[in-house]
Structure 1
Amino acid sequence: MKKIIFILLCTLMMVPSLVRAHTGLSTSIPSEGQVISEDLDQITLTFETSIEELSTMELIKDGNVIPLDVKVENKQLMGSVAKPLENGSYIIQWKIIGEDGHPIEGEIHFVVQMEQNEAEPNPSTPEESDVNQGDNSQTDQQDDKSQQQNTAADIAENTEDENNNLSSIMFVPFIIILIIILGIVLLFFTKKKKS
């Protein structure tokens, strides 16, 4: 009986270390949902523990993969961007292998919104320019609002997905430990009946 209690206590003490063993994303540049208004030369993801060299990341815009020069340094996964990013929504998809050997993946969404200087095709009078600028600013404001609403909805959806993934990762060790405990109890009762 003392052996079983000892094994149960050891198993229960292992639960927090199993849950903590998984490496999580600590910080990222750009961060989730960030709107970038300057040139972005490098993407940097920093994790809670060291990551393996086999870790990767991809930058995706409209379903197309944008080439990155990816390297791993201790706790950081970095990707250098070859040319300036165009305006639009982007997704960083990362896959890492933590110190514990478990593969973990995730996504970070961000938006590039750079000011663009457009040349006017036809010269206009000052009065026409004022009218056109008023119309353009209203259209720009409406576009900005709709884009911000879409970005906020995407962020909420992705945060929910990440929470579900984290819950499922933490649920697996709990189930394994529960099965071990049930097995020990059944073994104990089986030996007791034979005695």
Structure 2
Amino acid sequence: MKKIMLILLCTLMMVPSFVSAHSSLSTSNPSEGQVVTENLEQIILTFGTSIEELSTMDLVKDGNVIPLEGIKVENKQLMGTIAKPLENGAYIIQWKIVGEDGHPIKGEINFVVQIAQNEVETNPVTPEENEATQQEGSQSNKIEEKSEDQNSAADTVEKTDDQKNDSSTMLTTVFIILIVIFGIVLLLFTKKKKN
């Protein structure tokens, strides 16, 4: 009887470690959906638990990977230094980490760089050129909005997948606990019948 109670106690003590074993993104700079208006020199991702050295990230614009000078892991943080100033536009940080439990996790962070250009116009603009420029600008805004909508939809799918993984881990843990409890009750019940 004492052995059974000890096993049950150990099982219940292990449940929190099963549930919180997977690391998740806590904060980031830049954050999801942020509009960056100043020169960005470093990307910093902070996670809920320590991460392994195998963790990495890519900075992507228009499907092209932009090289980072150095990617390093320090305890709970994944950091990357940006080699040269970023041009205006939409960017995606694609990260892949390995948590303390060895479980790989990946995700994306979408942000936009929109730094004011301090250029003085040297050529006078005719009304026709100005109108053509405004039409091109509105078309590029529509394309950028569609791209952001697609990116946010992909991010939502990624978050949903992470939530499914967390809930399936929780369900598995609860199921194991229920089986152990059922086994203990069944064992105690059969011992009482023998007596």
TM-score, normalisation: structure 2: 0.71
Q: Structure 2: how far apart are the matches of 1:160 and 1:114?
A: 29
The alignment status of 1:95 with 2:97, answered yes or no, reads yes
Residues 125, 39 of structure 1: alpha-carbon distance in 2 compared, 3 angstrom cutoff? closer
Residues 56, 176 of structure 1: alpha-carbon distance in 2 compared, 3 angstrom cutoff? farther
Residues 81, 172 of structure 1: alpha-carbon distance in 2 compared, 3 angstrom cutoff? farther
Moved more, 132-141 or 156-165: 132-141
Give the RMSD, CA atoms, in angstroms: 3.5
The residue type paired with residue 79 of structure 1 is G
Moved more, 53-62 or 88-97: 53-62
Structure 2 partner of 1:42: 42
How far off its partner does 1:116 sit? 8.6
The alignment status of 1:73 with 2:83, answered yes or no, reads no
SS in 2 for 1:171: helix
Structure 1 partner of 2:173: 173
Structure 2 partner of 1:83: 84
2:52–2:97 Cα contact (<8 Å) kept: no
Residues 94, 37 of structure 1: alpha-carbon distance in 2 compared, 3 angstrom cutoff? farther
Q: Which runs of 5+ in 1 are unaligned?
A: none
How far off its partner does 1:6 sit? 5.5
Tell me the percent identity: 49
Q: Structure 2: how far apart are the matches of 1:107 and 1:134?
A: 36
The alignment status of 1:52 with 2:52, answered yes or no, reads yes
1:35–1:110 Cα contact (<8 Å) kept: no
SS in 2 for 1:22: coil
Q: Which runs of 5+ in 2 are unaligned?
A: none
Moved more, 42-51 or 179-188: 179-188
How far off its partner does 1:58 sit? 3.4
How far off its partner does 1:76 sit? 1.0
Deviations for 1:121-156, whole angstroms, at most 9, x for unmatched residues?
Answer: xx6752223322332343244234323332332332
The residue type paired with residue 92 of structure 2 is Y
1:71–1:79 Cα contact (<8 Å) kept: yes
SS in 2 for 1:151: helix
- For 1:3-152, list aligned pairs within 5 A: 4-5=4-5, 7-61=7-61, 64-68=64-68, 69-86=70-87, 87-98=89-100, 101-114=101-114, 126-152=126-152
